[in-house]
Amino acid sequence: MIEFQGVSKWFGPLKVIKEISATVDKGTTIVLCGPSGSGKSTLVRTVNRLESIQEGTITVGGMDINAKSVNVNTLRTGIGFIFQQFNLFPHLTVIDNVMLPLRRIHKQSRKEALPAALLMLERVGLADKANSLPADISGGQSQRVAIARSLILKPEVLILDEPTSALDPEMVSEVLKLLRQLSGEGITMMCVTHEMGFAREVADRIWFLKNGALTFDAKPELFFSSGTHPDVRGFLSSIQKNH
Partner 1 sequence: MLEIIREYGLMLLIGEYPHGKLGGLALTLIISIVSLAVTFPCAILIALARTGQSRPLKAIASGFVHSVRAIPLLMLIFWAYFALPMAIGFPIDATYTLIIAIVVYQAAYLGEIIAAGIQGLPNGQVEAAKALGLGYVPTTFRVILPQAIFNVIPGIVNQLTTIIKESSLGSIIAVSELSYVMLQVNSNEVTKPLQIFGILAATYFILCFALSQATNWLERRIANRRTGRVLVEVIA
Give the single-character DSSP code of 51.
S
CB of 157 to partner 1, least distance (A): 12
Residues near 150 by beta carbon (within 8 Å), at least 6 away in sequence: 80, 81, 82, 158
56: exposed, middle or buried (Cβ count in 10 Å: 0-12, 13-18, 19+):
middle
Q: Select 76 or 210, whichever has its Cβ closest to partner 1.
A: 76
Shortest reach from residue 77's CB to partner 1, in Å:
4
Nearest distance from C-beta of residue 175 to partner 1, angstroms: 17
Tell me whether residue 149 or residue 194 sits nearer to partner 1 (CB atom): 149
The residue (of 76 and 144) whose beta carbon lies closer to partner 1 is 76
* 182 vs 232 by CB, closer to partner 1: 182
CA 232, distance to chain mean position in Å, is: 21
Minimum CB–partner distance for residue 102 and partner 1 (Å)? 10
Quick one: 163 or 214, whose CB is closer to partner 1? 163
Beta strands in the chain (DSSP E): 2-11, 14-24, 29-33, 55-60, 63-64, 79-82, 157-161, 188-192, 205-210, 213-218
Spatial CA neighbour of 20 closest among 190, 238, 237, 224 = 190
Question: Which residues of the shown chain bind partner 1 in the complex (CB under 8 A)?
Answer: 48, 50, 73-77, 79, 81, 83, 85, 87-91, 100-101, 104-105, 132-133, 135-136, 146, 149-150, 153
Min separation Cβ 81 and partner 1, Å:
4
